[in-house]
Amino acid sequence: MSAPTARGTLSRQRVLTAALAVADADGLAAVTMRRVAGDLGVEAMSIYHHVRGKDALLDGLVEAVLDEAAAELTRAGDPPRQWRAALRHRCLSARAVMVRHPWAPGLLTSRPAVPPSAFAWFEAVLAILVGGGFSYALAHRALHALGSTALGFTQELFTPAAAGPAGDDPAAASAEALAALSRMSDVLPHTAAMVAAEVHAHDGDVLGWCDSRAEFEFTLDLLLDGLERTRRAVARTSAARA
């Protein structure tokens, strides 16, 4: 362990940065108050002055990931003006962050309450939709349709939570799910055949067994195209009634 760090040099940001590094290196299960404190070179009680406990630490990790997604958007420059391109840009920027932190989707979907930073992210999504001509009613439906896609990931059907703590090792969880499907090929022939045809090697841009960037973009574009058609249909109906 490194020499103890003076308490005065600690900050909430330093604690969250250390926790992020632990999760990236060893998975979410390794993120404990004791482990993070050890990596910072302080006693565990020292970091309670900055995060009140394990739940607060995990909520802080969600905040850190979403802050990183916002920074990713800023680095990319001014967003496109057209709503579809702007929303697509936001989703793909978030995805770039999720790929860097493959444990993050599991964490985001496991928190008991929506953190304020997530509300801010979806507020920006709503602003794009409303600015693009969506009514609040249609924008609300769009949020439901987009779901976690707006945060840069899609939930996998064949990665069971029982494979381990959420987000700890997506590759291992995926391998276990695929092995289970293979064993049930006589009972689930179509599912097994689909998996055998579609599974691909992990290429460094994978959050699950089939969630490559191309497949994510296919889902995203399908949703955006459908939302645009619906927006136009609603606009035509409103104009006809005027």
Q: 114-132, pLDDT tens digit by residue?
A: 778 889 999 999 999 999 9
pTM: 0.80
Per-residue confidence (pLDDT) for residue 145, from 0 to 100: 95
106 lies in which domain range? 53-154+211-241
Instruction: Determine, yes or no, domain membership for 236.
Output: yes
Split into its structural domains, the chain has a count of 1
Distance CA 84, CA 215 (A): 18
Residue 90's closest CA among 154, 149, 156, 155?
Answer: 149
Instruction: Determine, yes or no, domain membership for 109.
Output: yes
Per-residue confidence (pLDDT) for residue 105, from 0 to 100: 92
Flag whether pLDDT at 164 surpasses 80.
Answer: no
CA of residue 109 relative to chain centroid, distance: 8
Instruction: Determine, yes or no, domain membership for 86.
Output: yes
Residue 148's closest CA among 228, 216, 213, 81?
Answer: 216
Instruction: Determine, yes or no, domain membership for 126.
Output: yes
Instruction: Determine, yes or no, domain membership for 218.
Output: yes
